[in-house]
Amino acid sequence: MNKGSSARRFPAEHFLNRELSLLAFNRRVLGQAADERVPLLERLRFLCIVSSNLDEFFEIRVAGLKEQVKLAVVAPGTDGLTPHEAFRLVAAQAHDLVEEQYDLLNEVMLPALEKQGIRFLKRSAWTEAQAAWIRDYFFREVMPVLTPIGLDPAHPFPRVLNKSLNFAIELEGKDAFGRSSGAAIVQAPRVLPRVIRLPEAIAGAPHGFVFLSSVLHAHVGELFSGMNVLGCYQFRVTRNSDLWVDEEEIKNLRLALQGELPQRHFGDAVRLEVADSCSEVMADFLLQQFALGYDDLYRVPGIVNLVRLMQVPDLVDRPDLKYPPFQPGLPKVLAKNYDVFASIRKQDVLLHHPYQSFSPVVEFLEQAVDDPAVVAIKMTVYRTGTDSVLMDLLMRAARQGKEVTAVVELMARFDEEANINWAARLEEVGAHVVYGVFGYKTHAKMLMVVRREDGDKGSVLRRYVHLGTGNYHPRTAKLYTDFGLLSCNEALCADVNEVFKQLTGLGKASKLNHLLLAPFTLHQAMLAAIRAEADNARAGKRVRILAKMNALLDPEIIEALYDASQAGVTIDLIVRGACALRPGIEGLSDNISVRSVVGRFLEHTRVFYFYADGEMKMYLSSADWMERNFFRRIETCFPVLDAKLKRRILKEGLMPYLADNSQAWEMDEDGRYRRKRSRKKGFSAQEALLAELSLAPPSA
């Protein structure tokens, strides 16, 4: 198994830094929040998504950089930056991004919301009626659950949960015991809402809100009777949240993770956010407590956790300020009351989410559960949510005596706890539950049903499969773009069966008919496909590469793309997030374009197209072109064999994104993105697909 060559054939300046590229992606998300064409409450969501993304960015990516700096790692990455150099650049750009985010919130978003009757009441402007209502709320709902902690030798600095809301209090005077430490900490329990809605009559607006931080600021003196409060400053610490388990010591992965998960809340601190009013003395004190430097300090003019504003659009009944609703469509082959197995026997069925419904996948499993002819169901579980109709169906199938196998990935980041719970519940009802292969995340999206049917020579077992680019998660299927394929192609089903056998049992990797599998064949197959296009270009043949993915970071793939470009291959890459390739460099990547589309839906499809001397090879995949996906995960990449479906994927999954001049951003040779805008009529790929595929397209 080739794990990639450590020797690079191209100099470091031809590769971009992963962390800086991720920050560039978040700037594009912030661009959606600034875009006046986007409905106002949706702009607020995008603003919050930036904060949510940055939280994970610090918890994982910045935490990793800081860990390397701590271990004195000096070896540069593919981009030529040492961990220390990368951290300095990341910190500078992250500070700039956060400053732009709060400027947009305070100078643009809040005034625009207020014009629409959505007000966030500032403490300095409360009326007597508002102040009285808030005071009553504090004593009734807030104060009973607060535990102020005075800092002295008997009360050391408390353990602060990752991303929790806290307040540092500067005090003057002595308490009943004669103590005068001068400082205290108040932790806001997570049961308290961070955004509180006021009655319309009190708020003076149809939708009036006050922040919990404002409520506590106004009444913090009630917690320290007889003492003077000199300052009250909200703060929030972000911690390293990457889980680590020792492969050599581990005996039971589930038990090990159950013991490790609680510690995630108390990993090493990587970022400190404080209100911009925080005194220098208190900021220095907090930095010292968390062993952080000034690069790690983020002073913000507003609440320290904008993710909390994500709930506001759901609390405000203003459809005119949100994206218009739509009803996902269905492929023609799936009639209203269809037999899913009969439909699949007629032809392979392609689903394009969220424009087309995820319900056929649920129906596929539901009919399998209720069908007495179905004898076995096998499924991979990566992200499925805390409430999942699919998991409920698997448990129902197990209770009915069907052979149910679930390959549950316990190391799915931030879904570990949910997946541990599902694994336990599935085991309780008699399902076979395995955790894949230790050291390799099972990221493949596969569902297989085995059904007993009548054949020419009597009873036979026929397999049906669903393969996808996205998770078995009905909620995110409404928000993420993904492709799914339902098929009973014997060779493809045999491949899926073989992969399940490898995941649940032991044995050498077998040669598969169609399926490309990481960590075994996917990387080399992609390299071979790229190199074949380059060879065809040198031979004067027609060539083309189109690829759409979430991230492009693998150095060998990038080098192969550079070689193909130099050979004359036209390469169009649609990369939503991080991209380490630099397009448009004369003599290196003249023939490569890179664009990113950021819109209403999160672009999640992985589609790889190669002209292949007229064969027009089309692949759908669970994997991005990243080293981790090629070598440290179990991924599937499956060819689309039906010519009609190939054309459909080209028409729906690739070409509209190349034509988009409304929500697309194009990368230049320096890694900078510029929004693609046309003086003519704008074209949005997502809006066009909604109009074409959904049953109730938006009026736009």
For residue 84, count other CB atoms closer than 10 A to its CB: 14
With beta carbons less than 8 A apart as the criterion, state whether 638 and 515 touch: yes
Phi-psi region of 445 (alpha: psi -120 to 50; beta: other; left: phi over 0): beta
Please give the angle made by the CA atoms of 170, 171 and 177, to the nearest 5 degrees: 140
Cβ-Cβ contacts under 8 Å for 274 (sequence gap 6 or more)? 168, 233, 234, 235, 236, 282, 283, 286, 297, 298, 299, 300, 304
Helix/strand/coil percentages in the chain, nearest 5: 40, 25, 35
With beta carbons less than 8 A apart as the criterion, state whether 549 and 575 touch: yes
With beta carbons less than 8 A apart as the criterion, state whether 199 and 133 touch: yes
**Residue 182 tokens, joined:** 């001068």
Length of the chain measured in residues: 700
Active-site annotation holds for 219: no
* Local structure of residue 512 (DSSP, 8 states): P
Of 14, 207, 353, 443, the active-site residue reads 443
Give the rounded distance of the alpha carbon of 505 from its chain centre.
Answer: 31
DSSP three-state, residue 126 = coil
Q: Is the peptide bond before 372 cis (omega within 30 degrees of 0)?
A: no
Strand ranges (DSSP E) for 394-457?
403-408, 432-434, 441-442, 446-455
Cβ-Cβ contacts under 8 Å for 56 (sequence gap 6 or more)? 241, 414
Distances (CA, A) of 259 to 244, 583, 654: 11, 46, 44
Query: Which residue numbers are catalytic?
Result: 443
